[in-house]
Amino acid sequence: MWDVSTLSLTIDAGSNTAPFEQVRTQIASAVASGSLGAGTKLATVRQLAADLGLATNTVARAYRELEADGVISTHGRRGTFVRSAVLDTSEAETGATEAAFAAATAYVRTLRRLGYNAQEAARLVEITWNQG
């Protein structure tokens, strides 16, 4: 899950800029700068609203506008992600992508059963990727 504090996402209540626009521009800037890479899962609307002390409709509007701008994409119950060709719905319908999701699911289940955490699992993938 995305850690809001990592990006120092803040809302200036005294600003003339609407809070939804502050959220939208800060997320868009983080994506443009690479602070939020393609495929990064964002906090849920409710979680981000709670973290920032905003109404859920405010964050929902920011997410809707980011999605309309092609910055993020929502994938139902899987969540909202920084736009990525691998995770886009049209791409997810291909056999190769579905096979990759199935392999990733099996990998995660195995590593959880063995007691690894997400960072350790990612490190194992990185090591293996660099060897191949």
Distance CA 19, CA 9 (A): 11
SS3 breakdown of the chain: % helix, strand, coil, rounded to 5?
Answer: 60, 5, 35
Q: Mean per-residue pLDDT for 10-31?
A: 93
pLDDT > 70? residue 85: no
* pLDDT tens, position by position, 86-112: 555 554 456 666 777 788 889 989 999
**Between 96 and 128, the higher pLDDT residue:** 128
Contacts of residue 72, Cβ cutoff 8 Å, sequence gap at least 6: 27, 31, 42, 63, 66, 80, 81, 82, 83
CA 113 to chain centre: 25
> Which pLDDT score is estimated for 1?
45
Range(s) of the chain covered by CATH 1.10.10.10: 4-82
Q: Do 43 and 51 touch, CB atoms closer than 8 A?
A: yes
Instruction: Find tokens 């209540």 and name the residue.
Output: 13
Q: What is the pLDDT of residue 65?
A: 94
pLDDT classification of 5: cutoffs 50, 70, 90: very low
**CA gyration radius, the chain:** 17
> CATH second-level architecture of 4-82?
Orthogonal Bundle (1.10)
pTM as predicted: 0.63
Report yes or no: 105 and 99 within 8 Å, Cβ to Cβ.
no
Q: For residues 114 and 103, is the Cβ–Cβ distance under 8 A?
A: no
Q: pLDDT tens digits, residue range 26-81?
A: 999 888 888 888 888 999 999 999 999 999 999 999 999 999 988 999 888 888 99
Dihedral angle, C-alpha 100, 102, 105, 109, nearest 10 °: -130
pLDDT at 104: 85
